[in-house]
Amino acid sequence: MATDPICGMFVDERSAELRLVRENRTYFFCSSHCLEEFSRPELELARLRTKLLVAWPLAVAVAVLTYIAPFPLWPWVALLLAGVVQFYPGLQFYRSSWEAIRGRNWNMDLLIAVGTTTAFVYSALTLLPASRLPSAIYFDASAIIVTLILTGNYLEHLTRERARGALRRLGELLPARASVLRDGVEVELPLDALRVGDRVRVRPGGRFPVDGAVLEGRSSVNEAALTGESLPVVKAPGAGVLAGSVNAEGLLLVEATRVGGDTALAEIGRLVTEAETSRVPLQQLADRIAAGFVPLVLVLAVGSALLWAFLGAGLTIALLAFVSVVIIACPCAFGIATPAAIVVGTGRAAEEGILFKGRDSLEAASRVDLVLSDKTGTLTLGTPTLSEALPAAGVAVEELLRLAGALEAGSEHPLARAVLRATSARGLVLPSARGVRAEPGRGVRGDVAGQEVAVLSEAAAREDGVDLREFLPALARLSASGRACSVVLRGRTPIGILGLEDEVAPGARDAVEALRADGIPVVMVTGDNEAAAKAVASAVGIAEVHAGMTPGAKLALIRRFQSEGRSVAFVGDGINDAPALAAANLGIAIGAGTEVAREAGGVILLRSDFRGVALALRLGKRTVSKVRGNLSWAIGYNAVLLPVAMGAFVPLFGVRIFGVLPIVGALAMAFSSTTVVLNSLSLRRVSLTGASRGRAEGRPPAHTR
């Protein structure tokens, strides 16, 4: 017995027909009313999963029986097994076909239903004792076609359902309740009770529940999830803060300026929704072909049957003519033309940590002619590292790092972590520090081996009147290259400076060059400052840079490029990138980024490697090219054999040729399907090595704006 997750009633698992597999658990339901509590996409996934669990074993069994024939009654067993596949998992094709007929929309499902049904019914008729039809059995063709198409449908539904979680992730950035000062008393309130003008207290480690302005306190605030900036931002009275960002150090009192649906975080959610809902889904190429191919086949089949009946060939010959046309046109090669290429292409991508979300993403990747990329966490590693340690005259580098590391040993600040990684890499033993005092937004002070030591930001050191003349050239150089600087003091004397930077990701330059070789320029779009952006752009070979961009500005830039006819891919990793990922023709989310960025993107790179962008786009182009080639082959084979099926060779061989046409059709289907599969398997060789296909074919690269 199991408990219904909705109403709590006990359900007998052995007899329950209503159940749903969710999060690796099976839920049983007492009634359809309880099922309604779950979303329609989840139910559709559960139904498809159940159908595939039935279809695959039976289809394999039918294929084995057909080609091995282990015992005399095997055709009847094949009939039973194929019938289950045809009329249980395959039932949805009949429903879709009926809707297509009612809506006059000749789609792929109608072609599948007609072809598989004809193959199944004809095979069943040949088993009848009084049948005068040639003995030819096609149960394996009908069962395998149904199973393959259902598998493709399941994978597409699965990726789309996972993508729906993007907006749900946004709410997880906000605290459930907020500490608010009302009439001088601090009270805990739910977020929907907050009003503009409320004074909200945010403690170290807490998330801001509102957009607002700092009234009291000083702290470093981590806004990386919203702005993409990897380094914490100093917040002092008068500075603005954003809902969802994290207070890293000091206690802050904030006056709410925007609450609830008016916050920047909520606006990002609306931008994602708008971009997703405004996008017109790409119509599948196979359906577009089927719209003309299906009625043509039906007309030819009926027409050939009527023609031979009119000529006096008899009912059997007329029926054979109809069956020959429909079986030869049965979409075996046509049905696997798209999934075969997609399975191989996406499988090759998965080996490299690249996940495509459905066929739309593959098709979008094939059309991309411009890549826009965020900087932090995409082209760079996303975490600051110590790039330079410049001691004063008479001070050793090791001494400078030991003193700084001793103060930073207990801090979780990203800059402190960078210093500690550097001391660990050098194998330095750190002395103990006493009386360590963090100054939010400024730095840290303490006593190390009886000496007063401080590690301050450049701005804080200047505020304290520290003489930095010895380091002015180095500070100017580091600032111009976009690196952050910390000053190490012994007493009031500066003994060195530390330069910290977000390092360029390994392989980023190779990826940019590979994209350029494929005729796809790269443009950097970042919320970071211009100096840091240009330094990274120069290191990776990007000519065009847009710095200081808000989520809305990124969205506007994408739409501007699109209005000029460009097909844009956007690469990002933060929540601030979610609107741009959704609005671009193709969103590519770096795997190390936030869940929202990953779910909003059409392509996910599980590895934080920008080379995956170049490989994803190349695989997209090659895969779609293979799909078109497969469809062309399938249509070509039908174009050649359909006249034969209609009786083009009757003048040479007589009407007896209709007796072997179904067998010829089966052999032709096998040959065509093998060709499609081999053509698709060539995608296994796609990589970033060697010249691109675009250059090999002599296409000029798209110009950079």
Catalytic residues: 374
Q: Let me know: does 325 contact 302? Beta carbons within 8 Å.
A: no
Q: Let me know: does 249 contact 220? Beta carbons within 8 Å.
A: yes
**Shortest CA distance to 88 belongs to which of 61, 52, 41?**
52
Residue ranges of E strands in 606-645: none
- Residue 120 CB neighbours (<10 A): 24
Using CA atoms, how far residue 330 sits from 298, 327, 624, in Å, is: 11, 5, 23
- Residue 192 CB neighbours (<10 A): 7
Which parts of 443-589 fold into alpha helices (H)? 458-463, 472-480, 508-517, 530-540, 551-563, 578-583
Query: DSSP secondary structure string, 298-324?
Result: HHHHHHHHHHHHHTT--HHHHHHHHHH
| Alpha carbons 506 and 526: distance in angstroms, whole number | 19
| Alpha carbons 352 and 337: distance in angstroms, whole number | 24
Residue type, 583: A
| Alpha carbons 658 and 649: distance in angstroms, whole number | 10
Which parts of 258-351 fold into alpha helices (H)? 264-278, 285-310, 315-329, 332-351
Burial zone of 539 (CB within 10 Å; 0-12 exposed, 13-18 middle, 19+ buried): middle
| Alpha carbons 384 and 378: distance in angstroms, whole number | 14
Using CA atoms, how far residue 317 sits from 118, 137, 309, in Å, is: 16, 18, 8
| Alpha carbons 558 and 523: distance in angstroms, whole number | 11
| Alpha carbons 290 and 111: distance in angstroms, whole number | 7
b/e burial code for range 1-38 (CB count within 10 A of at least 16 → b)? ebebbbeeeebeeeebebbbeeeeeebbbbeeebbeeb
Here the tokens at position 449 are: 């081996």
